[in-house]
Structure 1
């Protein structure tokens, strides 16, 4: 059980809660602080005009609200902004949104009753997620529409994703024997103001991007093994003189992963320690860029992912409500912590990096399928009768299709600010859109890598190289060849590709490699 409150919520913990369904608990001292903040606001708000408690919202803040209508004001805010459209957030995205909102509320700067966080924890632990729609947020006053749908579920209205079905909120509360939230002071505004949806989705994106990077490093090494390439392009001596952390880290990983491989060649053994007399060399002296420049291509991807991880972690643990209820200093501060520019920019950068990763996988795939390029494999790695059988030919199309879609989707969202809300929100972040588009790019890239993986398995088997692989790449081969065995006859491939995609998305490849190899 993962405690929420006081300690920083790291992405590794978020992954365990969101992807592995670990339950959460609420830190007792943090819960006390939430209660202290509520008590302060309740006392402080007497006979004062405070935005969002006894005023309207946004451009209607000039209108004073009578005390008897305060609760109705909060309910009206939730209901009026539950206007989302399009597809629902996935259960993972909804769970991450709830966790992100719970974590920021446990910082004790929102003036909410402890019933809010207790109910959210219960719903997370029972895998009950209010239906939240993709379309609606502009990411400036926070994820107003997405979080309104979350709040709508908390007050017992709307629908939930629950046990594989879409059901009315009343069914969830009756089944779990829970009571919907009773709004007290500003629970409506506190729920809506914030970046929790874009941040939760962004956190999943970073976790998945790390999986993609680890997988593509392994696949790149396997392609080099298939081609019996020289290993100096990821040597410490070569990469150490290029002063980028990501490049050096990728090169180091490739050195560790390739340890004990019987396929990679030492340049000095073939070209330097003996006299070369051939006028025309059968093997290329230098490999194609997609094989030789892996550290230089995936290094920036590594750096981008890890910087995004830093920013998302900071946002995940920030107070992004407005106003901020500072019970310690006995005051309330107004501003724009709900603005999602940090997340929006990182999601744009992340999707560009992931798109490039997918482009590298696609070029390596094309290299394996084209005998004019690799000189060592039949066309489309066809183990059957050329002309009669097709090998991997039909599977290349979805990979190329996804690359093209990613390239189109990688145009930035961050710069597409459109004023709205009677120009009160005159510059916005579009952070949730950016996070959702990034999520699509990432899923597309898992599909690209699925095709790439199947081709690699086919090539290794065709060459008879299984026993010569390094221990790390042999592990990957063994895992994937169970899902997508090498083949001769043509059969529908969509189920195999789907299984590989699911494995790549769900398996903790990075952790497996750390355990197997001991690298950072």
Structure 2
């Protein structure tokens, strides 16, 4: 599979194919011509003119003019001086995403880079030559200077790179094996690589892809709980949800109806309460479920809408020109400004992590309902399939979910409003967009762990109630796939491999809920370590 980039806007589906389906990329002819035209114009335009970052210093030192014989070295100085990243290396898939984002920006033909730079960057992406980039360093104002400097460092043949499996090697050794030459800077390629929002945007796009998947898994978990409690069907009905005019609520309710359409466990309100005369004064069954079951469309609906808004902003950003200055070959001019500022991405990442935190809170409340026999009145305490008092069931697993939700709530403090002036007060108001994106990724990772505890509890509950053959076809399929990873257990055994195996399954399996049913596709092989540990544990 090959995707042409640069001629048209990149889409989220393009990113999914490049990042998770091993699609290669190629540079479109129109884009290549734009890059060449822009470079040729800038090379001529800079003669006898003062252009920021070519014959001046950077940031607050821009008042210093740089002699022609020092201009190339200036670019190398910029790269090496800013490779100050600290903390943990960010995930290789994030790095690949930010590289695609940066390449797409350069291909707009407003950056004045030499054509060989975009060609080399394309080769790096296709061969998974991914620079080691660290989590700490960007304030997201003059772009992601520190993180993107590590990208630039690898393109000049220095520093270290990794592949998608996390194997770290010296850049020079890797590119020599591939027959590639380090890039030789001509005009302003260092500044063009570093002075943009591609790190925060690349991380954000991966976040959005995972967030979409979390949404679908949360809808499915909610639907399965509806089945477990043999709930009435009206709270997710078209009629009820259509009179509240929010797209996300209607979306969630529709997905729930798709999952539950062939379930034999859900009860009709009309059949049980309207067509039959109820004579008892005190109902044994609940008239309405707890909010974590009954209000799922209203809770997940705004989360869906937030994710869609995040995607729209990210795709606009990734298809924008976001460095400085802007080199306009058509108008034969160079414009100085602030397109590198990351406020758009920062705000959306804060919205996303807040929304996903709420999703994790819903999951934790649903989990608590299943584990508390006094609430559900149909399951043993902690869905314990062994001897009560002697065995503990899912009791220990609840602590993981509860504590992780608490961490999500703390991480949801916004970065967008946490500006700290720096750079001799040249950058006097900043976005912190890269921090926001990375914190959002942590919240997303945490939430997959929380959902893993919930799903493990759900399938244990299915077995206790003997409901496997009564589940909807979608629920039954997921139940069976999870049971292949974690067989039913009643005796106590080591729990973390079970939770880990379910988390890996959810994280690496894309679920699509349609009117025709549920489609599930794995993006990577199942984690063999978790598989092995589950097999060796007594159950």
TM-score greater than 0.5 by the shorter chain: yes
- The answer to whether structure 1 residue 256 and structure 2 residue 269 are counterparts is no
Pick from 339, 361, 373 the counterpart of residue 363 of structure 2. 361
Contact between 2:201 and 2:318, CA under 8 Å: does it hold in 1? yes
Q: Secondary structure at the match of 1:43?
A: helix
Alpha-carbon deviations, 1:202-223, whole Å to 9, x = none?
0001000000000000000000
* Structure 2 partner of 1:185: 187
Do the aligned residues in 2 keep the contact of 1:472 with 1:513 (CA within 8 Å)? no
Q: 1:313 and 1:80 mapped to 2: Cα distance? A: 31
1:411-441 Cα offsets, whole Å, 9 max, x none, are 1000000000001000000000000000000
CA distance in 2, matches of 1:79, 1:90: 22
Report the counterpart of residue 329 of structure 2 in structure 1: 327
The CA deviation at 1:246 is 0.4
User: Quick one: distance in 2 between partners of 1:145 and 1:474?
Assistant: 48
Per the alignment, residue 49 of structure 1 pairs with 50
Residue 498 (structure 1) aligns with: 500
**Equivalent residue number for residue 95 of structure 1:** 96
Aligned to 1:151: 152
Q: Distance in 2 between matches of 1:126 and 1:490?
A: 46
Aligned residue for 1:204? 206
Which of 487, 490, 498 is equivalent to 2:489? 487
SS of corresponding position for 1:454: helix
Q: Distance in 2 between matches of 1:374 and 1:514?
A: 30
Bigger shift: residues 426-435 or 385-394: 385-394
Match of residue 524 from structure 2:
none
Q: Which residue of structure 2 aligns with residue 384 of structure 1?
A: 386
Q: Is the 8 A contact 1:418 1:427 kept in 2?
A: yes
What is the match of residue 81 of structure 1? 82
2:225 and 2:497 mapped to 1: Cα distance? 24
User: Deviation digits for residues 330-364 of structure 1, max 9, x if unmatched?
Assistant: 11111100000000000000000000000000000
> Which residue in 1 is equivalent to 2:107?
106
CA contact (8 A) 2:213 2:510 kept: yes
**1:165: how far off?**
1.9
Tell me if 1:242 matches 2:244.
yes
* Contact 1:371/1:379 (8 A) holds in 2: yes
Stretch deviating more after TM superposition (381-390 or 340-349): 381-390
Aligned to 1:406: 408
Shift of 1:517: 5.4
Deviation string, structure 1 residues 369-396 (Cα, Å, up to 9, x no partner): 1110000000111111101111111111
Say which is worse superposed, 68-77 or 28-37, in terms of deviation: 28-37
2:170 aligns to what? Answer: 168
SS at match of 1:118: helix
Q: Deviations over 1:466-505 (max 9, x none)?
A: 1111112122212222122221111112112112111111
Give the superposition deviation at 1:16.
1.4
> 2: CA distance between counterparts of 1:351 and 1:88?
21
**Partner Cα separation in structure 2 for residue 91 and residue 21 of structure 1:** 14
**Higher deviation after alignment, 38-47 or 11-20:** 11-20
**Which stretches in structure 2 are left out of the alignment for 5+ residues?**
520-539
SS of the residue corresponding to residue 224 of structure 2 reads helix
Distance across 2 between alignment mates of 1:316 and 1:491: 47
| DSSP-derived class of the 2:88 partner | strand
Provide closer, same or farther for how the CA distance between residues 326 and 515 of structure 1 changes in structure 2, counting only shifts above 3 A. Answer: farther
Partner of residue 119, structure 2:
118
Distance 1:501 1:371 in 2: 25
The 2-side partners of 1:73 and 1:343 are apart by 30
Partners of 1:457 and 1:485 within 8 A in 2: no
Q: CA deviation at 1:25?
A: 1.1
SS at match of 1:24: strand
Of residues 267, 270, 279, the one that matches 1:268 is 270
Q: Is the contact between residue 231 and residue 266 of structure 1 (CA under 8 Å) also seen in structure 2?
A: yes
Q: Is the Cα contact below 8 Å between 2:258 and 2:514 reproduced in 1?
A: no
Deviation at 1:153, TM superposition (A): 0.6
TM-score (ref. length: structure 2):
0.94
SS of aligned partner of 2:150:
helix
Give the RMSD, CA atoms, in angstroms: 1.2
> For 2:422, which of 420, 423, 431 is the aligned residue?
420
Q: Secondary structure at the match of 1:509?
A: strand
Q: Is the 8 A contact 2:258 2:517 kept in 1?
A: no
TM (norm. structure 1) is 0.98
- 1:192-235 CA distance string (max 9 Å, x none): 11000000000001000000000000000000100000010011
